[in-house]
Structure 1
């Protein structure tokens, strides 16, 4: 009798965790691809044909009675500001998705517990949930920042943009890459704390808005200010096109004090021993110092939020 050799039954290989995340959140992946594609296309249009048309319109000679550059310059500026606004608004969208859909909904529906009961540990589940979108966000926002800088450096209409403008400063460097990662970490932590989609979504928005505001207020003070001093006739002597800080009066002893003579008469400075005025500012030469220090602060807060999320998850599942 011939023995039949039976091959060992092959165990099904579990799906890779990152593929499961991308499959589960396919709508978000599609939206992210659409978002990056649209913003990139608009920036490239403004860099190429839009910028060329705006430059030609700007250089068009004026007539005696009319100096109208047409709509080309307006559309060029609108495209730039539109992309800038989307880049700076991105952290809010990330916080909504991370707090409500990425974490909160799975805890509310019980799919997270189902995954933990199988071959995925809670720590690996959360690590994958954060690592996959973090990689995609970093790649996409880096591309958008590079295109934004390309357009900014090649600005063909010598009017209207400044490196220190709100939005322009953030979108022109690694700050724009770091803020979505902060929103992802804070949104995930909020979703874990709330355990439901809607409260996690709201908490993620509030946490991201609060952290962004505080970092924005603290950021300029992380780099030493430049100081300009003007006499009584010259007044405040800070140059244009800078990030402004504090300003006030200078006494005869060299002390810097709040200006007590705003709106007062000419006799006020002498009555308060004021001999000049000072202004604190950041020039364009400090752009990278400001960018890198604020980016380091943002990533530090994001790392702390991520550590808090893992600690909370470990305590809940131990």
Structure 2
């Protein structure tokens, strides 16, 4: 009798594991259930975002290599002079601008249509007739979308931060307090993108019309950017530097490299402050007379050092993410009873 196949008394083959492999063997990681359904429905938008992020990362990696080669020619980091004169800052600025627009575009083209499209074309009624609860459907929509957005923006932000780090202390390249740098590095792009995309989802759920939701989300995203731009610098701890040995240019307080100056004024003998432009007159003699009359003895400078940048970004991102969580909770609570 052959040793390869054994048969029973009826001549039929005996059960063999090779005929029916165990479930899951060699299957790998795959989406299933509601996760698969959401990915399948929005795969075009998700893949577009992921591919765009991958291209952006590749381009920034190439540009960073070009920058490092340029800096090496000046003996960086030991020789820190003269390199700024011919440094091409356009790639960094363009990348910062594009990363700044990313939350707006993601909110408008991904967030707003996510629920508005289902409500407008009636897909939500079909979902409501199935055994899956609305809460699970909404949570999956929010979760998968947030994951794709977070991965895409985090990758782009991490590479931009790595690219800019060697020259971040130079205000000639990009001032760290400017939105091109502050909002394009660290956790800030992720937090801004998540806020605008979840805000767009909420707007789409309430308005139930895709184009109208996209228009309103655009306004929402712009408003978020404007409020954030006025708010970001208040996240830092202001440091004050004073002098009392005159106000000549050579007697100006020595500030750390990359420090962001918020205000500078004159300090008088009585401890009062007068505005920097108070004695700006045409003649030097008249200016000196003005300073002497006001009994000016030195400078008073308020600034935020670049060392606070990371903590400011994480504090701001935490606030933005808390707002995002609140909007996401509203979407689930509202949609649980009023989605249809």
Aligned residues: CA RMSD: 3.0
Q: Report if aligned partners of 1:99, 1:188 keep a CA contact under 8 Å in 2.
A: yes
1:34-93: per-residue Cα shift (whole Å, max 9, x none)?
Answer: 211111111111122x2355347778xxxxxxxxx99xx54xx43333322222211001
| Pair 112,268 (structure 1): closer, same or farther in 2 beyond 3 Å | farther
Contact conserved, 1:17 with 1:128, CA < 8 A, in 2? Answer: yes
For 1:313 and 1:51, the matched residues in 2 are separated by 49
State the partner residue of 2:124. Answer: 112
SS in 2 for 1:164: coil
1:150 aligns with 2:150: no
Shift in CA distance, 115/226, structure 1 to aligned 2, threshold 3 Å: same
Q: Contact 2:93–2:174 (CA<8 Å) still a contact in 1?
A: no
Q: Does 1:30 align with 2:47?
A: yes
Is the contact between residue 266 and residue 275 of structure 2 (CA under 8 Å) also seen in structure 1? yes
Q: Which of 42, 47, 52 does residue 59 from structure 2 map onto?
A: 42
**Bigger Rg, structure 1 or 2:** 2
- The 1:288–1:99 alpha-carbon spacing in structure 2 relative to 1, beyond 3 Å, is closer
Question: Counterparts in 2 of 1:200-211, with a 5 A limit?
Answer: 200-211=213-224
Quick check: 1:238–1:281 contact (8 Å CA) kept in 2?
no
> If the length of structure 1 is used for normalisation, what is the TM-score?
0.78
Q: Give 1:153 deviation, angstroms.
A: 2.8
Please tell me whether residue 282 in structure 1 is matched to residue 295 in structure 2: no
Contact 1:219 / 1:293 at 8 angstroms: preserved in 2?
A: no
Aligned counterpart in structure 2 of residue 178 of structure 1, from 191, 198, 208:
191
1:51 is the counterpart of 2:51: no
CA distance in 2, matches of 1:274, 1:193: 60
Superimposed CA distance per residue, residues 18-39 of structure 1 (whole angstroms, 9 cap, x where no aligned partner): 2112111122122112211111
Q: Distance in 2 between matches of 1:286 and 1:40?
A: 26
What is the Cα deviation at residue 315 of structure 1? 4.7
Counterparts in 2 of 1:103 and 1:252: CA distance versus 1, 3 Å: farther
Please report the TM-score for the alignment, with normalisation by the length of structure 2: 0.74
CA shift in 2, pair 1:219/1:164, >3 Å: closer
1:10 — aligned with what?
Answer: none
| CA-CA distance at 1:105 after TM superposition | 1.7
Q: CA 1:52 to 1:98, structure 2 compared with 1: closer, same or farther past 3 Å?
A: closer
Cα 1:98–1:247, aligned 2, differ >3 Å: closer, same or farther? Answer: farther
**C-alpha contact 2:239 2:304 (8 A) present in aligned 1:** yes
Q: Secondary structure at the match of 1:139?
A: helix
**How many angstroms does 1:145 deviate by?**
2.1
- CA distance, structure 1, for counterparts of residue 312 and residue 211 of structure 2: 36
Per the TM alignment, residue 251 of structure 1 is displaced from its structure 2 partner at its CA by 4.2
Aligned residues of 1:98 and 1:191 also touching (Cα < 8 A): no
1:229 alignment counterpart = 242
* CA–CA separation in structure 1 for the residues paired with 2:237 and 2:97: 29
Show structure 2 runs of 5+ residues with no match.
1-31, 76-84
Is contact 2:265-2:301 (8 Å) kept? yes
Looking at structure 2, the residues matched to 205 and 290 of structure 1 have their Cα atoms a distance apart, in angstroms, of 26
Corresponding residue for 1:292?
A: 314
After TM superposition, give the deviation of residue 134 of structure 1 in Å. 0.9
